[in-house]
Structure 1
């Protein structure tokens, strides 16, 4: 049973881009240049402050590439919601249209790649549950951003190609199936 979403609409890609831009804007404006923390304790303008969001985005791109299962169903539901919200904003908000903007060919994960996605899911779930310093909102926004942009046919979606290949290679190494 294939639970993967059919693709991302322009509205879903806009929602992912809005999340990305707002996170970067907040990082830039709230971070203090030269100090360790911003006005709200956000970590300053250090690039280290963006690591949780970036890792969440990469993870979101990975789970949207999954072909089935519960993880793909959750990612598909999130993408469906983002597509719908973005499409409504484009059509009713500014009078535009919302065509599909998915790339022409889906990137496939191997069985080893799926194993790495499952391990990453367990690690994120464990950190979410047991870590007192885990940046939940940054990671959650990153995951949603990655889900929205992972199937995109543009530049952001092209990040999924080397990511999927890297995960497939790591999975092949981990399962011992690399030839």
Structure 2
């Protein structure tokens, strides 16, 4: 089970902010047809939520892919924090532990993987 570092959180938030910036249709378009504008963002939000849920899987191929992705984003984020802005690598400031998914939760991840 991987621990999320501040570097991993930074990379995840950078991807989210980048997507929101490139998606932003402008205030005029949002006022004119907000449902269509938000609908164009929906596929990304579904995939992002699935990725967050997949990180909680503990085993199997899906868990291995999610843990590998988390490890890479932790490593890249820590490198960027240390070499980019002079920060420190490592765990988050607050000590927290997350609970892995239960059997029904793992079933939901498998179903979502098949659907996506």
The TM-score with structure 1 as length reference comes to 0.56
Detail structure 1 runs of 4+ shifted over 4 Å in the superposition. Answer: none
Q: 2:111 aligns with which of 119, 122, 140?
A: 119
1:17 aligns with 2:13: yes
Bigger proportion of residues as helix: 2
Q: What is the match of residue 91 of structure 1?
A: 82
Equivalenced residues, count: 110
1:34 aligns with 2:26: no
Instruction: Could you tell me which runs of 5 or more consecutive residues in structure 2 were left unpaired when the two chains were aligned.
Output: 31-35
Q: What is the match of residue 65 of structure 1?
A: 56
Other structure's SS at 1:70 match: helix
**For residues 107 and 119 of structure 1, do their structure 2 counterparts lie closer, same or farther at Cα, with a shift above 3 Å needed?**
same
Q: 1:68, CA displacement in angstroms?
A: 1.2
**For residues 49 and 18 of structure 1, do their structure 2 counterparts lie closer, same or farther at Cα, with a shift above 3 Å needed?**
same
Q: Which has the higher contact order (CA 8 A, sep 6+)?
A: 2
Q: 1:105 aligns with which of 97, 112, 116?
A: 97
Q: 1:64, CA displacement in angstroms?
A: 0.4
Q: 1:110, CA displacement in angstroms?
A: 1.7
How big is the alpha-carbon RMSD for the aligned residues of Structure 1 and Structure 2? 2.0
